[in-house]
């Protein structure tokens, strides 16, 4: 989970975005947009070899939710 949070934080490429945790509501993070969603889909493919869909992201609320979706797909 820690490694995932680290990778998730990197998506924003912004030093002000830190201290994220599994209960963070990611859609409320300053800068969250469909481009970051695309980066997330790319990261899930590259790091975890899973095909995350836009629907999966729409249904999830927290970083933990995304993590569990990815875990279930592996």
| Contact footprint for another protein (CB under 8 A) | 31, 33-35, 37-38, 41-42, 45, 51-54, 58
**Nearer to another protein among residue 1 and residue 33 (C-beta):** 33
**Nearer to another protein among residue 3 and residue 58 (C-beta):** 58
Please name the residues in contact with 49: beta carbons below 8 A apart, sequence gap of 6 or more.
74
**Nearer to another protein among residue 18 and residue 58 (C-beta):** 58
CA-nearest of 74, 56, 63, 69 to 3 is 63
Minimum distance of another protein from residue 22's CB (angstroms)? 23
C-alpha angle 18/19/20, rounded to 5°?
Answer: 95
Q: Are 1 and 9 in contact (CB under 8 A)?
A: no
Minimum distance of another protein from residue 2's CB (angstroms)? 25
């Amino acid at each position: 989970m820690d490694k995932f949070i680290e990778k998730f934080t990197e998506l924003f490429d912004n030093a002000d975005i830190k201290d994220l945790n599994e209960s963070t509501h990611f859609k409320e993070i300053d800068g969250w947009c469909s481009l970051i969603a695309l980066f997330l889909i790319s990261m899930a493919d590259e790091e975890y070899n899973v095909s995350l869909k836009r629907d999966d992201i729409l249904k999830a609320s927290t970083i933990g939710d995304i993590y569990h979706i990815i875990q279930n797909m592996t």
